[in-house]
Amino acid sequence: MISDYDPNDHHKLQGDLSRLYRWPKENNMNAASKVPSKSVWKTVPKSDDYQTPELSDELLRYIERTSLVKFSNEDGIKQLQDAIEFASQIGDVDTDGVEPLYSLHETEVAYLREDEVTEGDRREELLSQAAISVEELYFSAPPGNVPLDQTGDLGKTK
């Protein structure tokens, strides 16, 4: 599909995007923005009571299964622990009396499009993106979920 790229489509896509939301004026990215133009990095000191969490084999297997990422070697576990430590810093922020924000668009209104068939007859093109297809009609997938190896020696392989 990359080969079909047409720079004019880019504008069309932007047009399509703007149909999605009714952007309020103050959100206009061209206006004086609160987003800094360069990345800003500040290290937060580790809080005194932070303890590196214990990650049991059972928990690791569980995270591997739900994330479908196999990472349980020494490096992988170290990375996960660092990530947990980094993320837990957010707990240090004082949020008393602040209403939770679920989504940046929660004060917007969903755009409603008319019920018309405008797309969809692209079987050949879509199946050409699939690793395996069957009879030029179907995508092919392994039967059911593929179970991860439940017996691997966690944390011992390099």
Residues 28-57 that bind another protein (CB under 8 A): none
Residue 51 Cα to chain centre, angstroms? 27
Instruction: Identify the residue among 37, 66, 150, 151 touching another protein (CB under 8 A).
Output: 66
> Across the strands, what pairs with 19?
none
CB environment 21-45: b (16+ within 10 A), e (fewer) = eeeeeeeeeeeeeeeeeeeeeeeee
Whether the Cβ atoms of residue 60 and residue 143 lie closer than 8 Å to each other: no
Instruction: Identify the residue among 84, 123, 148, 157 touching another protein (CB under 8 A).
Output: 123
- The span from the CA of 17 to the CA of 3, in Å, is 22
Closest CA to 60 of 45, 47, 73: 73
Nearer to another protein, 57 or 74 (CB): 57
Site string for another protein, 70-109 (x = CB under 8 A): --------------------------------xxxxx-xx
Which range in 4-12, 14-22, 38-46, 89-97 contacts another protein by CB under 8 A?
A: 14-22
Q: Minimal distance in Å, beta carbon 117 to another protein?
A: 4
Nearer to another protein, 13 or 44 (CB): 13
Check residue 140 for interaction with another protein (CB under 8 A).
yes
Residues 70, 73, 76, 80, CA torsion sign = positive
Check residue 22 for interaction with another protein (CB under 8 A).
yes
- The span from the CA of 95 to the CA of 90, in Å, is 10
Interface residues with another protein (CB under 8 A)?
Answer: 16-17, 19-22, 66, 68, 102-106, 108-123, 126-127, 129, 134, 137-145
